[in-house]
Amino acid sequence: MATKPRFGEDSGIAEGLLPVNAMHISASVFINDDELGLMRDWEAWLEQLAPEKPYNRYRHNDSGEDNADAHLKRTIMGREVTVAVTGNKLDFGPWEQISYGEFDGKRRKRVLIKIIGE
């Protein structure tokens, strides 16, 4: 996702809130720095917490699925973020941006963005 767009130019929203949801149970939306080393650190850390294999370590996979680890990773990273909009801009700190994490990779990517404001 692009960072720090000017919402007034596209949506007419000068002040408000922007909730963003990952629309799948094995995906996440989160705010952090989009630096390659950090993204690799996130991936390695999540894999240590919830390794993909062996598949038989998870009861969810007994149902024929093989993505229990993706559900756990999503729970850790979160379902949604909300960002304030002030003066036609997203209220981000330095280096912050919205990122999408797909932990299963088998589904069509979907994100719901709602703009609440004036």
Residue 57, domain member (yes or no): yes
Whether residue 19 contacts residue 115, with contact meaning beta carbons closer than 8 Å, is answered with no
Query: Among candidates 40, 68, 41, which has minimal Cα distance to 52?
Result: 68
Q: Tens digits of per-residue pLDDT, 26-46?
A: 999 999 998 999 999 999 999
Residue 2, domain member (yes or no): no
Query: Among candidates 104, 35, 37, 113, which has minimal Cα distance to 69?
Result: 104
CATH of the domain at 78: 2.60.120.460
Residue 80, domain member (yes or no): yes
Could you tell me the residue range of the domain that residue 17 belongs to?
7-117
* Rounded Cα gap, residues 69 and 94, in angstroms: 31
Q: What is the pLDDT of residue 64?
A: 93
Domains identified in the chain, total number: 1
Residue 42, domain member (yes or no): yes
Residue 1, domain member (yes or no): no
Query: Among candidates 15, 9, 8, 34, which has minimal Cα distance to 118?
Result: 15
Residue 76, domain member (yes or no): yes
| Whole-prediction pTM | 0.84
